[in-house]
Chain A
Amino acid sequence: MKSSANTVVNAGSEAVTPSSEVARFDETQPLQLDAGVELAPFQIAYCTYGTLNADKSNAILICHALTGDQYCASTHPVTGKPGWWEVLIGPGKPIDTDRYFVICSNVIGGCLGTTGPASPNPATGQPFALDLSVVTIRDMVRAQAMLVDRFGIDQLFSVIGGSMGGMQVLQWASSYPERVFTAVPIATGARHTSQNIAFHEVGRQAIIADPDWRQGRYLEKGTRPSKGLAVARMAAHVTYLSEAALHRKFGRNLQDRDVPSFGFDADFQIESYLRHQGMSFVDRFDANSYLYMTRAMDYFDLAADHDGQLAEAFRGTRTRFCLVSFTSDWLFPTGENRAIVHALNATGASVSFVEIETDKGHDAFLLDEPEMYATISGFLMSAAKARGLAR
């Protein structure tokens, strides 16, 4: 890592020495991975907002999505952009930091400071690259539980997240039911569908096909598989939107020209937009980390861990659930969310479920959706009353 550090843009240094807080776990506190091995030492990069109350009952864990990070409500150190959920989290907002103590950590396998493929392998001093075991959603959650232990928090007031974050929420509720008072999985599923795995595979193959990927050893070689990672992002980005929204935003409009070029420039606005999405993504994300994150989502199948019975994953749960889906989300369509609701119904769990009408597709959970705000704030408010969290 050391010799090549200067060839790596900011994302590389943030991967090892992040701007945020870091919790370090030494050899005596290994992380058990589903792959059957232990990871030690390792570190978790995280941010917190608000104040933990005296009896430690007001903590909310925010779980980030595939390319998210711990900076949910603060400026991103690489891009300088506002936190990815700043619309939802902050003083007086639905997840009110005047009232709740919010924790958000970078997941295991990530690239913003938690141990991942860009972190140095203690055995070699070089980045892990693909020598890191493949991680799962459950591994991410196990690591988060160790972080929550560090704060001395027995029970989280809520665990909230969308997409891959929603998978972690479901895993939390299933693995540690007594540690989760409320759970808010948004735009997610209890498994990754075949179509979702297919799109991820397209992205991974784009990265692996880039000659600069160098069998994953690009950090030492001083190259970056930017083209492959950008193509992966472009393909994935289409799945986060909807046909209606794309057409509303771009239609068949041409970019900076009045007639088609009869060539392969970005003639259409949508092409230009996607290229921009791809190019800006590579500045803030590590290609190997993208392989690991997508793999973790692909492997997620909560029912499979319980003999195919999803309801068994939640048997006897006392957690209060609130699920949210979006009408135009074709990555995690309402049906996938509703399957979770039905499983929860079968266990007699307390569950609310709202489908929000929007043309913004899967990405809607990150955008300005007043119905989602009202749902989350109403749900949390009533749960706070039940939990005895005085205003």
Chain B
Amino acid sequence: MSVNSTQRVDFQVIADLVAEGARVLDIGSGDGSLLELLAAERGIDGRGIELSQQGVNECVARGLSVIQGDADHDLVYYPDESFDYVILSQTIQATHNPKIVLKELLRIGRYAIVSFPNFGHWRVRLSLLFGGQMPVTKDLPYSWYDTPNIHFCTLQDFVRLTEEVGAKIERAEALDASGQKIAVSLPWSLWNLFGQQAVFLLRR
């Protein structure tokens, strides 16, 4: 898991996007919290992929169908449209090739749900502007040299990527530090400034 699990304010927002009884693949399952939440609230048929051995072992011991693997290497084995939703929560910034990964999500799932920390948030910008150093915040607790997050993007960067791979944005949410949704009427540029995290529901 790339981001501290106690701060997973995006989970409830994701759960609200998932239809009842859907088939879901959760990539970067961590300790299985999201899969358990989705099973409890949405009655999903869930599968997971997790990089860390400890995470996988925890998930399987909790009775979840999780395999060890990662988004860069293991998605290729899944057939087209084998899931209703493929979820990549707080993980895209840790993949080697986010563009290929995003294309794979859209191939495997009817919908893709992607959440990520917004590198365009004002705190990040201020930290870089005045501190002159790569920001280390509550959401992004790593130093530049030991971070698993090798492909940070801002909310606007991500929107551009969705255009490039031809994905349609069905819904988008920007969340503030406490996980509250930011009013929908604001333009992308303001979301990009105030959204600490973003959640996108995409389809081909």
Interface positions of A (Cβ within 8 A of B): 320, 322, 338, 341-343, 345-346, 348, 350-357, 371, 374-375, 377-379, 381-383, 385
- Return A351 CB to nearest CB of chain B, in Å: 6
Instruction: Specify the chain A residue showing the minimal Cβ separation from B67.
Output: A353
- Return B43 CB to nearest CB of chain A, in Å: 13
- Whether the pair A351, B79 counts as a contact (CB closer than 8 A) is no
The docked-state distance in angstroms from the alpha carbon of A350 to that of B46 is 9
Instruction: Specify the chain B residue showing the minimal Cβ separation from A377.
Output: B61
Given contacts A348-B82, A353-B68, contact A379 B63 (CB under 8 A): yes
- Return A157 CB to nearest CB of chain B, in Å: 15
Q: Which of B118-150 contact A (CB under 8 A)?
A: none
Given contacts A346-B79, A374-B57, contact A381 B68 (CB under 8 A): no
Given contacts A351-B67, A352-B66, contact A342 B61 (CB under 8 A): no
The docked-state distance in angstroms from the alpha carbon of A375 to that of B47 is 16
Residue of B61, B78, B79 touching A375 (CB-CB under 8 A): B61
The docked-state distance in angstroms from the alpha carbon of A379 to that of B47 is 13
Residue of B61, B62, B65, B78 touching A346 (CB-CB under 8 A): B78
- Whether the pair A382, B47 counts as a contact (CB closer than 8 A) is no
Interface positions of B (Cβ within 8 A of A): 45, 47, 53, 56-57, 59-69, 74, 77-79, 82
Contacts of A379 in B (CB 8 A): 60-61, 63
Contacts of B77 in A (CB 8 A): 342-343, 345-346
- Return A62 CB to nearest CB of chain B, in Å: 20
- Whether the pair B60, A322 counts as a contact (CB closer than 8 A) is yes
Contacts of A382 in B (CB 8 A): 62-64
- Whether the pair B61, A378 counts as a contact (CB closer than 8 A) is yes
- Whether the pair A320, B65 counts as a contact (CB closer than 8 A) is yes
- Return A86 CB to nearest CB of chain B, in Å: 22
Instruction: Specify the chain B residue showing the minimal Cβ separation from A385.
Output: B63
Contacts of B79 in A (CB 8 A): 346, 348
Sample 25 A-B pairs with CB under 8 A, ordered by A number: A322-B60, A338-B69, A342-B74, A342-B77, A343-B77, A345-B67, A345-B74, A345-B78, A348-B79, A350-B47, A352-B56, A352-B60, A352-B66, A353-B56, A354-B53, A354-B60, A354-B68, A355-B56, A356-B57, A374-B57, A375-B61, A378-B63, A379-B63, A381-B63, A382-B62
Q: Can you list the 5 inter-chain pairs with the closest CB atoms, starting with the nearest?
A: A382-B63, A378-B61, A353-B67, A342-B77, A374-B61
The docked-state distance in angstroms from the alpha carbon of A320 to that of B190 is 47
Contacts of A343 in B (CB 8 A): 77
- Return A3 CB to nearest CB of chain B, in Å: 55
Contacts of B47 in A (CB 8 A): 350-351
Contacts of B45 in A (CB 8 A): 350
The docked-state distance in angstroms from the alpha carbon of A352 to that of B68 is 8
The docked-state distance in angstroms from the alpha carbon of A379 to that of B59 is 9
- Whether the pair B65, A378 counts as a contact (CB closer than 8 A) is no
Instruction: Specify the chain A residue showing the minimal Cβ separation from B62.
Output: A378
- Whether the pair B63, A354 counts as a contact (CB closer than 8 A) is no
Contacts of A375 in B (CB 8 A): 57, 60-61
- Return B44 CB to nearest CB of chain A, in Å: 12
Residue of B64, B74, B78 touching A352 (CB-CB under 8 A): B64
- Excluding A348-B82, A353-B68, A356-B57, 18 further A-B contacts by CB distance (< 8 Å) are A338-B69, A341-B67, A342-B74, A342-B77, A343-B77, A346-B79, A351-B67, A352-B59, A352-B60, A352-B64, A352-B66, A353-B56, A353-B69, A355-B53, A355-B56, A378-B61, A382-B62, A382-B64
- Return A145 CB to nearest CB of chain B, in Å: 26
Given contacts A342-B77, A355-B53, contact A378 B60 (CB under 8 A): yes
The docked-state distance in angstroms from the alpha carbon of A30 to that of B77 is 41
Contacts of A350 in B (CB 8 A): 45, 47, 65
The docked-state distance in angstroms from the alpha carbon of A348 to that of B84 is 12
The docked-state distance in angstroms from the alpha carbon of A353 to that of B63 is 12
Instruction: Specify the chain B residue showing the minimal Cβ separation from A324.
Output: B60
- Whether the pair A352, B53 counts as a contact (CB closer than 8 A) is no
- Whether the pair B61, A355 counts as a contact (CB closer than 8 A) is no
- Whether the pair A354, B56 counts as a contact (CB closer than 8 A) is yes
- Whether the pair B68, A355 counts as a contact (CB closer than 8 A) is yes
Contacts of B59 in A (CB 8 A): 352
Contacts of B64 in A (CB 8 A): 352, 382
Which of B65, B67, B74, B77 has the largest count of A CB atoms less than 10 A from its CB? B67
Contacts of B69 in A (CB 8 A): 338, 341, 353
Contacts of B57 in A (CB 8 A): 354, 356, 371, 374-375
Contacts of A355 in B (CB 8 A): 53, 56, 68
- Whether the pair A352, B62 counts as a contact (CB closer than 8 A) is no
The docked-state distance in angstroms from the alpha carbon of A342 to that of B77 is 6
- Return B85 CB to nearest CB of chain A, in Å: 14
Contacts of B61 in A (CB 8 A): 374-375, 377-379
Instruction: Specify the chain B residue showing the minimal Cβ separation from A327.
Output: B53
- Return B32 CB to nearest CB of chain A, in Å: 11
Given contacts A371-B57, A378-B60, contact A351 B78 (CB under 8 A): no
Instruction: Specify the chain B residue showing the minimal Cβ separation from A341.
Output: B67
- Return B113 CB to nearest CB of chain A, in Å: 19
The docked-state distance in angstroms from the alpha carbon of A348 to that of B67 is 13
